[in-house]
Structure 1
């Protein structure tokens, strides 16, 4: 199996648990992402106007700029976990290519111990999606400047509480915005399709 084939292998549930366990362990910074954050972050990278190099986006999964580096047990562990992340990004991309309307964020594919954990997962996903936008904020400007398309970001910014004005929204309204995430992601993906394939205006 060559490296290209390896990167396209689907990620198993067991591998995602392995990644999550590492992210939550003392081997990483307290600012390392949770798995829900990784899902939102990678989704933003996949649906955006351009794909930054892994060296530009991978470090933020492990924490902030001045945080300690992850303490991998070996070079093999570092390679394995990095490969899981890259394959997971490709899995998200593949799902969107196959059918953008069928995309589901991780929080809609998981069960949680209680409502509080589930609400935190949704907020974390959306917040990390916004982090993914910030990686290439200038390239995202055409979407922000489009009066209609920019509305696609509203569910994500509200759920991620990007701005103080969203702090006091009622739970019932938040649930409605949560239901709008799938349509928002599909719409953002389709907005940038022409740019992705090089035939945009």
Structure 2
């Protein structure tokens, strides 16, 4: 089901085309009324069981509504700074314990290969054809893209190893802009905007409406950024 080779990637230098990102997203105070530093540790840890649950196994197998959050979560696992055992990220995702891997014929067991398959699909796409990577965003009734569930799933996976993400959570880091198209759409445990309340006005509204278009390039840029660190740790 899981093969380490599926998570291997071609090491390429960070594409200078992504520098425009930092230029575009650095003026965050223009868009956020009270910008705040993203914490590098989880300020509100939940009980260990189901701590970062995104979807239950039965919900995953019976509904498409949970797929955007799952997709964002798995994308963060693939592109993030730490190589993790499948048990360490699939169990929190599905709110199951490790024993579920040993019992066939259950919704939990059926969900595990579905999640692993999506992980391998994302890893293979980013490794071989990153320009084809497309997040599974939800659509609003207006047919506009709603990136919030996908981004919230991505952030939930970040929280598994939030300290490892710390360099990019530092607003003073020139590469902090790589996370902004994602974190702009996230909320904290009190349902407040993770980066602070946005300013009112049409310019901010239009910016937020279109920021999702930068997410695919951001995910690949994050993968490239973390790759030397991730595989140095894995040795």
Normalised TM-score (structure 1): 0.68
Q: Equivalent residue of 2:162, what SS?
A: coil
Q: Is the 8 A contact 1:149 1:188 kept in 2?
A: no
Q: 1:4 to 1:59 in 2, by over 3 A?
A: closer
Deviations 1:96-135 (A, max 9, x none): 111323311012xx7x47237842xx10100111111111
Give the equivalent residue in structure 2 for 1:97: 127
Equivalent in the alignment of 1:147:
173
In the other structure, the counterpart of 2:214 is: 180
Give the aligned partner of residue 197 of structure 1. 231
Residues 1:164 and 1:134: Cα distance change in structure 2 (over 3 Å):
same
- 1:142 deviates by 2.8
Alpha-carbon distance in 2 for matches of 1:168, 1:182: 27
Cα 1:4–1:179, aligned 2, differ >3 Å: closer, same or farther? closer
Per-residue displacement from partner, 1:10-30 (whole Å, max 9, x unpaired)? xxxxxxxxx9993168x99xx
The 1-side partners of 2:128 and 2:112 are apart by 24
Q: Name stretches of at least 5 consecutive residues in structure 1 with no aligned partner.
A: 9-18, 66-70
Q: How many residues align?
A: 168
* Alpha-carbon distance, 1:48 to partner: 0.5
Give 5+ residue unaligned stretches, structure 2: 7-54, 188-193
Give matches, 1:1-201, under 5 Å: 3=1, 22-23=58-59, 34-63=66-95, 75-77=104-106, 78-107=108-137, 112=139, 114-115=141-142, 118-119=145-146, 122-145=147-170, 147-161=173-187, 162-166=194-198, 170-198=204-232
Give 1:173 shift: 1.5
Q: CA RMSD in A?
A: 3.5
Cα deviation for residue 4 of structure 1 reads: 5.4
**Could you say if the C-alpha distance between residues 4 and 183 of structure 1 is closer, same or farther in structure 2, counting changes exceeding 3 Å?**
closer
Name the counterpart of 1:15.
none
Structure with higher RCO (Cα < 8 A, 6+ apart): 2
Structure 2 length normalisation: TM-score? 0.59
In the TM superposition, residue 196 of structure 1 has moved relative to its aligned partner by 3.3
Distance 2:181 2:157 in 1: 15
